[in-house]
């Protein structure tokens, strides 16, 4: 027996076998049962979702001699003649190759003749939108008042090209794209019947590649079997279609949580070496963070269309991100996707973009901030009363405001901040300075690196910091409010900070017209330009 492709071998022969279009098949079955069959139908929808198949089942059912519950028997003389393509009462016409007015005039003449054996003469016109305007006009009158024994079924992937005068004379049914889970289950059923060993991840990859078209999924399935034989491995499948390994998306989301900037360059290099498309990568990244958003909001993975392996991994992010964090990341990815299309060097663009995503700081909601203000305010009041009783000589220069009591601290191991009083010794501040820098680096790594070579000096309640050059001076000045708040938060006293550089000559750069990019990296990422 000659080989038959899966799409033909597994083509549905009853309405019940049609996959993913129950809203249509149920309606048509009820119309047949209740003898409310229309004289013209219009089936619309994307490719490979069952339009032509459903039209054939409808045509076969209308002429079946033993209809049961709106389904064809597939055993009677009329059903068998249709299955063997020998019936003269069901005429299939390709609208793309029979689009001229001469063919439509011939059709108009043929509808006058009664069926040879069946009850109805059924005309199935596939890709009907390809007919010319003249052809549609010639069909109008016949379509509006056809003979009682004639039924038209039109199928199209582009309903917008069909004139409204035609649409208004038909019962319209909109076929939808088939869900990934439905395609997976159908392919799994085929694989079990054909004794093919294929894992859940491979089925997911095929279903996603098909993009809602079951026929495409079956064609890909055939191609995979031809390559792998009766045992399909998902890693081989990724190589065949050069699909992006989804582990790379989890690598990035983990890097965001751990602030691992090296991952940005490792990921970009992996994309480059495998020849993956950067735009496809960003689209996949958008879907990845969309999946994280669903688990953060819903606390489950029911809305995620992935392999079971990955669905479980997404649950680990429930308490790791906030809704605001994910929305900021998604907004940045969309912005990068738009800019990437006009970028001269996409690899560098991706490296910088991923670094920026990893550098994004966690956000706090207004409710959280208010809660921290209230808690901090109560703690400060308690500490003040205790200190007032135990050390009456303490002087309070300025009243504490609510804004000054906001404290958002990271957990720092082996670091105890000195308690500064009016008689605080600068030597103690200097001794704790390196620990303070380590504390800063956990929050802003690059900015903390700029502070590494500084030694604070105390002058009239003002901290003086001396840096190497104007560039470091500019970086610290851009983050002066941040530094001042962290010092008050850590050392318990608000200082004025003065910054000056040892040399007044800025470093030369060889980047020319890219100075704006350099400025952006310095300002937003806390970067530092290095001489070669």
Q: pLDDT value at position 394?
A: 34
Residues 203 and 86 in one domain: no
Residue 111 DSSP symbol: T
Is residue 360 within 8 A of residue 321, CB to CB? The reply is no
* Tens digits of residue pLDDT in 493-520: 777 888 888 776 554 444 444 554 455 5
Residues 40 and 143 in one domain: yes
- DSSP 3-state of 105: helix
State the Cα–Cα distance between residues 523 and 446, nearest whole angstrom: 11
State the Cα–Cα distance between residues 268 and 271, nearest whole angstrom: 5
Instruction: Tell me whether residue 162 is in a domain.
Output: yes
Q: pLDDT value at position 453?
A: 76
State the Cα–Cα distance between residues 243 and 245, nearest whole angstrom: 6
Tokens of 417: 């901040």
Q: Which of 148, 174, 200 is the last residue of a domain?
A: 174
The dihedrals phi and psi of 107, each to the nearest 5 degrees, come to -65, -45
> In degrees to the nearest 10, what's the CA dihedral of 101, 103, 109, 110?
-150
Q: How many CB atoms lie within 10 A of CB 404?
A: 16
- Domain range for 434: 410-525
Instruction: Tell me whether residue 1 is in a domain.
Output: no
> In degrees to the nearest 10, what's the CA dihedral of 383, 384, 390, 396?
140
Residues 13 and 147 in one domain: yes
Q: Which residues pair with 499 in a beta bridge?
A: 465
Radius of gyration of the chain (CA): 35
Residues 138 and 162 in one domain: yes
Nearest to 178, CA basis, from 44, 13, 19: 19
The dihedrals phi and psi of 321, each to the nearest 5 degrees, come to -125, 155
Tokens of 496: 């004025």
Instruction: Tell me whether residue 354 is in a domain.
Output: yes
* Strand order from edge to edge, sheet including 462-467: 457-459, 462-467, 496-501
Instruction: Tell me whether residue 235 is in a domain.
Output: yes
Q: pLDDT value at position 379?
A: 59
| Burial of residue 86, with CB atoms counted within 10 A of its CB: 0-12 exposed, 13-18 middle, 19 or more buried | exposed
Can you give the CATH number for the domain in which 509 is found?
3.30.300.180
Instruction: Tell me whether residue 531 is in a domain.
Output: no
Q: pLDDT value at position 417?
A: 47
Residues 17 and 166 in one domain: yes
Instruction: Tell me whether residue 329 is in a domain.
Output: yes
Tokens of 356: 């920026």
Residue 68 DSSP symbol: B
Q: Which of 155, 174, 193 is the last residue of a domain?
A: 174
Is residue 356 within 8 A of residue 524, CB to CB? The reply is yes
Can you give the CATH number for the domain in which 109 is found?
3.40.50.300
Residues 124 and 227 in one domain: no
Is residue 206 within 8 A of residue 222, CB to CB? The reply is no
Residues 257 and 212 in one domain: no
Instruction: Tell me whether residue 111 is in a domain.
Output: yes
Q: How many CB atoms lie within 10 A of CB 302?
A: 8
Q: How many helices (H) and strands (E) does the chain have?
A: 23, 10
Nearest to 309, CA basis, from 226, 225, 229, 235: 235
Tokens of 32: 């047949």
Residues 425 and 520 in one domain: yes
Instruction: Tell me whether residue 136 is in a domain.
Output: yes
* Tens digits of residue pLDDT in 134-164: 888 888 888 888 888 899 999 999 999 999 9
Residues 423 and 480 in one domain: yes
Can you give the CATH number for the domain in which 329 is found?
1.20.272.10
Residues 123 and 260 in one domain: no
Nearest to 87, CA basis, from 59, 66, 67, 107: 59
Q: pLDDT value at position 1?
A: 52
Residues 385 and 415 in one domain: no
Is residue 93 within 8 A of residue 111, CB to CB? The reply is no
Q: pLDDT value at position 372?
A: 57
Q: Which of 359, 375, 393 is the last residue of a domain?
A: 359
Tokens of 46: 């994307």
Low-confidence ranges of the chain (pLDDT < 50): 384, 387-413, 415-422, 507-513, 516-517, 530-532
When divided into structural domains, the chain yields a total of 5
Residues 124 and 29 in one domain: yes
């Amino acid at each position: 027996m000659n080989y038959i492709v899966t799409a033909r071998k597994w083509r549905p022969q009853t309405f019940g076998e049609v996959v993913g279009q129950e809203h249509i098949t149920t309606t048509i079955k009820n119309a047949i049962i209740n003898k409310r069959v229309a004289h013209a139908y219009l089936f619309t929808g994307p490719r490979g979702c069952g339009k032509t198949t459903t039209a054939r089942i409808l045509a076969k059912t209308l002429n079946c001699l033993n209809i049961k519950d709106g389904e064809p028997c597939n055993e009677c003389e009329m059903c068998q003649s249709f299955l063997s393509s020998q019936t003269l009462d069901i005429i299939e016409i390709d609208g793309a190759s029979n689009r001229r007015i001469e063919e439509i005039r011939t059709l108009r003449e043929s509808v006058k003749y009664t069926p040879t054996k069946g009850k109805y003469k059924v005309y199935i016109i596939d890709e009907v939108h390809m007919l010319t305007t003249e052809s549609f006009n010639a069909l109008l009158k016949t379509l509006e008042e056809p003979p009682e024994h004639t039924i038209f079924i039109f199928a199209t992937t582009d309903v917008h090209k069909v004139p409204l005068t035609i649409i208004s004379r038909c019962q319209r049914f909109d076929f939808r794209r088939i869900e990934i889970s439905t395609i997976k289950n159908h392919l799994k059923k085929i694989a079990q019947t054909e004794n093919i060993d294929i894992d859940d991840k491979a089925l997911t990859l095929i279903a996603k590649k098909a993009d809602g078209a079951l026929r495409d999924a079956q064609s890909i399935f055939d191609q995979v079997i031809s390559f792998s034989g009766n045992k399909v491995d998902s890693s081989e499948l990724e190589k065949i279609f050069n699909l992006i390994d989804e582990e790379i998306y989890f690598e990035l989301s983990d890097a965001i949580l751990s602030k691992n900037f090296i991952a940005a360059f490792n990921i970009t290099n992996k994309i480059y070496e495998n020849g993956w498309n950067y735009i496809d990568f960003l689209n996949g990244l958008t879907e990845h963070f969309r999946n994280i958003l669903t688990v953060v909001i819903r606390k489950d993975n029911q809305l995620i269309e992935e392999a079971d392996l990955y669905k479980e991994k997404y649950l680990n992010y429930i308490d790791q991100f906030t809704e605001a964090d994910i929305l900021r990341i998604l907004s940045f990815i969309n912005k990068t996707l738009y800019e990437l299309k006009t970028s001269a060097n996409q690899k560098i663009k991706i490296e910088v973009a991923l670094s920026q995503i990893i550098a994004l700081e966690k956000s706090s909601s207004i409710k959280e901030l208010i809660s921290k203000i209230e808690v901090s305010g109560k703690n400060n009041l308690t500490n003040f009363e205790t200190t007032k009783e135990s050390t009456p000589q303490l002087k309070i220069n300025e009243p504490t405001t609510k804004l000054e009591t906001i404290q958002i601290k990271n957990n720092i191991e082996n670091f105890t901040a000195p308690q500064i009083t009016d008689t605080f010794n600068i030597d103690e501040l200097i001794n704790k300075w390196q620990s303070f820098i380590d504390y800063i680096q956990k929050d802003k790594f690059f900015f903390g690196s700029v502070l590494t070579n500084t030694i604070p000096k105390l002058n009239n309640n003002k901290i003086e910091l001396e840096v190497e050059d104007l560039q470091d001076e500019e970086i610290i000045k851009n983050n002066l409010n941040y530094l001042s708040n962290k010092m008050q938060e850590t050392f318990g006293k608000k200082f004025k900070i003065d910054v000056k550089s040892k040399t007044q000559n800025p470093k030369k750069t060889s980047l020319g017209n890219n100075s704006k990019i350099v400025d952006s990296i310095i300002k937003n990422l806390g970067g530092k330009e290095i001489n070669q």
